[in-house]
Amino acid sequence: VLRLGMREVYRVVLEIVTCAALNAHDGFGLRRVNLWRHSLATAVAAQILARHLTAEDTEIVFTAALLHDIGKALLAKAAGAEYFRLLDYCEERNGISQCLEQEMFRTDHAEAAGRLLRRWKIPERIVTAVAGHHHPLKLPQGKALPSALIYAGNVLAYRLGHGNGLPRYVVEPDAAIVGLIRLEPHELYRYEDEVEEMLRREQDRFR
Ligand SMILES: [Fe+2]
Ligand SMILES: [Fe+2]
């Protein structure tokens, strides 16, 4: 198994997220920053939850969460302005993007990311976590935890203002999924301060 150092992963992510092709489209400057902030917030949150509530390798969880929405950058690269319209449409209606992505691309950003990361020979545990981040309950038992952590991390990221709109699963997280990390949905808020605090420190490192 290829072991990627954190630094290498950050570099790759930054390269993708700041890819010149994406810059060509109007409005992507802002989106790029949003996606990066959202990814970092999700990663920090997932890592904190992992440390408090599970025995998962926190570095794997952090890396997987950092990469979880990288498929959005891929789809943006493929479809440009049309994909941004899709995201705007979802944001205005507080919807989730994957249904519309399925219509437009016959795939969604989680699946697309899974395929890319597998091609890059990213460790399978990370690939599975990213590909399954919308549906942790569909994963085999024993493989669902990192995805559930990303799911919960996503909820916290959105709630702290690092997301687009307020999708339904953020307002009402799925109790069965959050239950995988032995929390009730309403208990997630307990971690908000710690996430914000650590996020501030992480952001300083990338400035
Ligand atoms: Fe997602
Ligand atoms: Fe996300």
Cα gap 163→37, rounded to integer Å: 8
Using DSSP, state whether 111 is helix, strand or coil. Answer: helix
Residue closest to 181 by CA, chosen among 153, 159, 139, 161: 153
Burial category of 28 from C-beta neighbours within 10 Å (exposed 0-12, middle 13-18, buried 19 and up): buried
Q: Ligand 2 centre and the CA of 24: distance in Å?
A: 23
Residue 51 confidence (pLDDT): 97
pLDDT at 23: 55
User: Are 69 and 38 spatial neighbours (Cβ–Cβ below 8 Å)?
Assistant: yes
Using CA atoms, how far apart are residues 82 and 149, in angstroms rounded to an integer?
31
162, 65 Cβ separation under 8 angstroms = no
Looking at residue 194, its pLDDT comes to 98
Q: b or e along 33-43 (b: 16 or more beta carbons within 10 Å of the residue's beta carbon)?
A: ebbbbbbbbbb
pLDDT at 140: 95
Rounded Cα gap, residues 137 and 132, in angstroms: 9
**Global confidence as pTM:** 0.88
Tokens of 125: 């545990």
| Residues around the ion ligand 1 (C-beta < 5 A) | 69
From ligand 1's centre to the CA of 134, what distance in Å?
6
pLDDT on residue 17: 59
Centre of ligand 1 to C-alpha 109, Å, is: 7
Give the other-Cβ count within 10 Å of 88's Cβ: 14
Which residues of the chain, if any, have pLDDT below 70? 1-33, 206-207
